[in-house]
Amino acid sequence: MIRVVLAEDQAMVRGALASLLGLEPDIEVVGEAATGQEAVAVVLSARPDIALLDIEMPVMDGIAAAAEIFRAVPACRVMILTTFGRPGYLRRAMEAGASAFMVKDSPARDLAAAIRRVLAGERVIDPVLAAAALSAGPNPLSRRERDVLGAAADGSTIGDVALRLHLSEGTVRNYLSSAIQKTHARNRIEAVRRAQAQGWL
């Protein structure tokens, strides 16, 4: 039996995926989690063969959880299953030691197949996404540029961001300006959208 731990924050989707995997005769869901933190804990106690993680989760996101599981339980293969096929996500997932990266709009039948392939030692990566990630290149934003852009994403004014990050307003403006240029955007909002679409941020 292939023992799987499932992490996904939307309970109904989590339950549905569990029932989907339950249909497979050789797969068994031995644990569920709603946050990344919970996922790490469950994997530590259940010691599954596979950890199937969503990325968008509260408390700790799936990529951070992947890194932690990869470090603490090397015997457990980590698979990422996510809504948004963003090149930056794929890159970061691979760096975190994930063995697979797939998106939720591929067919349901592919999931079990991917699990078996991963267990056989293969790496499974959505081919469309792999191409996109390669052509997109790495994240051009510096650490600070990401921080500032991220802090401005919710509509905060420059003053707010400066306060929150303990920076001068002028400095915030400068980082924002360079982020705008690096993303080829025309203003802050476009820069945020572009960065999010690429999985930088």
H-run or E-run covering 49? none
- Answer for which of 52, 55, 192, 201 binds a second copy (CB under 8 A) is 192
Q: Under the rule (CB under 7 A), what is the footprint of DNA? A: 142-145, 157-159, 167-168, 170-171, 173-174, 176-177, 180-181, 187-189
Output the CA torsion sign for 84, 85, 91, 97.
positive
Minimum CB separation of residue 23 from a second copy in Å reads 6
Query: Is 106 within 8 Å of 125 (Cβ atoms)?
Result: no
Binding mask 55-94 for a second copy (x = CB under 8 A): --------------------------x-x-----------
Task: Indicate whether 25 belongs to the interface with a second copy (CB under 8 A).
Answer: no
When CB distances are held under 5 to 8 angstroms depending on the partner's kind, the choice from a second copy, DNA, none that residue 144 binds is: DNA
Residues forming a β-bridge with 52: 6, 79
H, E, C per residue of 99-148: CEEEECCCCCHHHHHHHHHHHCCCCEECHHHHHHHHHHCCCCCCHHHHHH
Tell me the longest C-alpha to C-alpha distance in the chain: 61
Tokens of 110: 């592919």
Task: Indicate whether 131 belongs to the interface with a second copy (CB under 8 A).
Answer: no
Task: Indicate whether 105 belongs to the interface with a second copy (CB under 8 A).
Answer: yes
Tokens of 20: 């989907």
Minimum CB separation of residue 182 from DNA in Å reads 10
Query: Closer to a second copy at the Cβ: 154 or 166?
Result: 154
Q: Which residues bind a second copy (CB under 8 A)?
A: 9-20, 22-23, 81, 83, 104-111, 154-155, 157, 185-193
